[in-house]
Amino acid sequence: MPDVTGKNPSRLEPIEIPRRSFLSIAALGSFFTAIGMALAGAARLPGPAVLPGPVRRFKIGFPEEFTVGSEARFEEANFFVFRDSEGIYAISGVCTHLGCSVARLPEGYACPCHGSRFESKGEVTRGPAPRALPWLEVGRAADGQLVVYADSEVAKGTRFRV
């Protein structure tokens, strides 16, 4: 390609860039870099920095209220609390498939949306749910009441000993 002076330079010689072109390219380049960076920064905006929502920590009453072998459902918080001879445990009532609330059956739980079934300890027995109903952390508040941490999952079989 002939350069600006009209001569055919050797292939090995560097191509001369006119000063104006260089300045234009530099200006455009820095402009678009800056805009690009700004947009990349702005694209982070929709990712919520603070997750709104209530504290999902529920006082459920004193341990004496739960007799051995009893169970209770907490509708608003959407979990089930059980007490057996080993202690107290809580199982989430939110289906692990697509988030519907499960119903309690004698033999376990059933999800109304896509037909998943769980046995009484939360393991999947049927349907599309990818994993067992999570067991939730149970603790005790300063006033002696039991607390269920609905956002904190614990290993299956973890019980709060009273």
Partner 1 sequence: MAPADQSVAPSASREFLANLRHLPRTVKDAWFRLGHSPVSEREESQATFHNLFLHIHSVRVHVRSLAPRLTMGLGIISVSSFIILCISGVLLMVYYKPSTTLAYDSIKDLHYVVFTGRFIRNIHRWSAHVMVAAVFLHMARVFYTASYKKPREFNWLVGLGLLVLTLALSFTGYLLPYDQLAYWAITIGSNIANSPRELTDAVGVTPWFNPGGSQRRLLLGADYVGEDALIRFYVLHVFILPTILITLLGVHFWRVRKDGGLARPEDPMGGTAEWGGKLHKVFEPLKTKTYGLMAVVKGRRATVNRGPENTLMSWPHLFWAELAVFMLTVAIVLILAFHFDAPLKELANPLVPENPAKAPWYFLGLQELVSYSAFMGGLIIPMIAWIGLALIPFLDQQPGGEGVWFGSKGEKLVALQSFFFGLVAVVGLLAFTVNFGWLRSWFPSIHQLWIIFINPGSILVLLYMAWSLWVLKRRNSIRHAAVALFTCFLVGFSVLTYFATVHRGPNWIFYWWPSQWPMH
- Site for partner 1, rule CB under 8 A: 46-48, 51-53, 75-76, 78, 97-101, 110-115, 123-128, 130-131
Q: Count CB-CB contacts under 10 A for residue 119.
A: 15
Instruction: Report, in Å, the least distance between residue 127 CB and partner 1.
Output: 7
Pairing of strands 87-92, 135-140: antiparallel
In angstroms, rounded to a whole number, what is the distance separating the alpha carbons of residues 100 and 133? 12
Structure tokens at 11: 């292939």
In angstroms, rounded to a whole number, what is the distance separating the alpha carbons of residues 134 and 154? 7
Instruction: Report, in Å, the least distance between residue 89 CB and partner 1.
Output: 21
Instruction: Report, in Å, the least distance between residue 46 CB and partner 1.
Output: 6
Nearer to partner 1, 1 or 155 (CB): 155
Nearer to partner 1, 74 or 87 (CB): 74
